[in-house]
Structure 1
Amino acid sequence: MVRKVDMLQVLRQLGTAMRCLLVLTVLLGVGYPLLILAIGQLGLQHQAHGSLLTDNGQVVGSSLIAQSFSGDGWFQPRPSAGDHDPLASGGSNAGPNDGELAGLIEQRRQQIAVRDGVSPSAVPPDAVTSSGSGLDPYISPAYARLQVDRVARVRDLPVDEVRQLVERQVLGRSLGFLGEPRVNVVELNLALQRSG
């Protein structure tokens, strides 16, 4: 009698284990890979088509790659070691103890302060330092706001209108907690072109 009860328990536990194995195999062996495949396909479609920016049917850039903008009537991106060339992506490889880099940063700070009519201490760090790739399309909201008066003056637009344009372009933290608020300078300049 004792052996029958033990065998019955073993069979029940074996049945439970087999059902768990079947459910987990379907969920993790089929469902999860299909979910990841679907997410990847959506990402590829966005990468292939979603990042291209157009104006009047013409492709004018990508929301993923910064561009150089010449003239004081445009918002300026971060500096780039490769002049915003996607084929020359990379940093300057200069470290924080490099005296030449420190001098270059100070030179950029002075130039931006003069160009935008502000104190050198008001120039945010992203205005004078390049990103690791040299292609970062984002600037801080502080750097975008710093440029508002100059852009409005050169384009002969009301300062409030340009300021509102910047505020509409500010993106919050990813998922509400990752990274910092940012402004895509390529999209901002495209919106500026369309408004004026």
Structure 2
Amino acid sequence: MLKQIRPAIVMIVATTVLTGLAYPLAMTGVAQALFPHQANGSLVEKDGKVIGSSLIGQNFTSDRYFHGRPSATTAADPNDPTKSVSAPYNAANSGGSNLGPTNSSLITRVKGDAATLQTQNPNMPVPMDLVTTSGSGLDPQISPDAAYFQIPRVAKARNMDEAKLKSIVDASVESRELGVLGEPVVNVLALNQALDASMKQ
């Protein structure tokens, strides 16, 4: 019996050390050496202080800034831990609302959001990604159409020329990966940083 137990224990220990310790440490070392920015969370700094990540959206609410997609993430209610409250872009609780397309709450919210947005720019149709949440609730990007749609509101709030603002959005559009993968997008945090920087010039 010991003949069978000993090799089994040796194999368990060896594979644990190899796959649970050596491999993760090697991959961490390679990532830190070749891609340190990405390996450390793609953090964005301003004046030496971390203000976010290029991979996780933020809840911009001021009219002076471009807004991202709605987020359905939640957090525990501080007054009652058995309940949850809305906490947009909560990276600790990534997820969607799981509401189906016929859900009355979802329909009511989307219609209300669309009506509000339409008052801000009645000359353009409301882009879908400005009223629908993603599966993760953390999307840092919006479509170029969603960014262009918000130009009148942001320009008015900042008393800024719309043509100048459009040029900032144009410069913030990220093209398809390798020219063919995915769709063009705009990173909302990067766009808002570029917007603030343009006001200092």
Identify, as 1 or 2, the structure richer in strand.
2
When you count helix as a share of all residues, which structure comes out higher?
1
What code does the residue aligned with 1:183 have? V
Whether the 8 Å CA contact 2:64–2:158 is kept in 1: the answer is: yes
Matched, 1:143 2:142: no
Please point out which of 80, 89, 95 is paired with 1:84: 89
TM-score for the superposition, normalised by structure 2: 0.72
Q: Does 1:93 align with 2:84?
A: no
The gaps in structure 2 that reach 5 residues or longer are 1-26, 74-87
Name the SS of the counterpart of 1:70 in structure 2: coil
Q: Once the two structures are aligned, what percentage of the paired residues are identical?
A: 43
Amino acid at match of 1:143: A
Amino acid at match of 1:177: V
Specify whether residues 182 and 39 from structure 1 end up closer, same or farther in structure 2 by C-alpha distance, changes over 3 A only. farther
Residue in 1 that maps onto 2:48: 57
Normalising by the residue count of structure 1, what TM-score does the alignment of the two structures yield? 0.74
Poorly superposed stretches of 4+, deviation over 2 Å: 37-44, 46-50
Give how far 1:195 is off. 1.3
Counterpart Cα distance in 2 of 1:70 and 1:149: 15
Structure 1 runs not aligned, ≥5 long: 1-36
User: Residue in 1 aligned with 2:62?
Assistant: 71
Cα separation, partners in 2 of 1:42 and 1:172, compared to 1, 3 Å: farther
Which residue, 97, 122, 126 being the options, matches 1:123? 126
The answer to whether structure 1 residue 107 and structure 2 residue 98 are counterparts is no
| Paired residues, number | 160
Is residue 2:158 matched to residue 1:155?
A: yes
Q: Give the match's secondary structure for 1:122.
A: coil
- Is the alpha carbon distance of 1:142 and 1:42 closer, same or farther for their aligned partners in structure 2, counting shifts above 3 Å? farther
CA distance in 2, matches of 1:42, 1:150: 43
* Cα RMSD (Å): 2.3
Match of 1:25 in 2: none
Q: 1:125 to 1:165 in 2, by over 3 A?
A: same
C-alpha distance in 2, partners of 1:158/1:85?
34
Contact 2:32 2:39 in 1 (8 A): no
| Residue 158 of structure 2 corresponds to residue 167 of structure 1 | no
Find 1:194's aligned residue among 191, 194, 197. 197
Q: 2:146 & 2:125 partners in 1: Cα distance? A: 9
Amino acid at match of 1:99: S
1:46 equivalent to 2:37? Answer yes
- Of 179, 182, 185, the residue aligned with 1:179 is 182
Structure with bigger gyration radius: 1
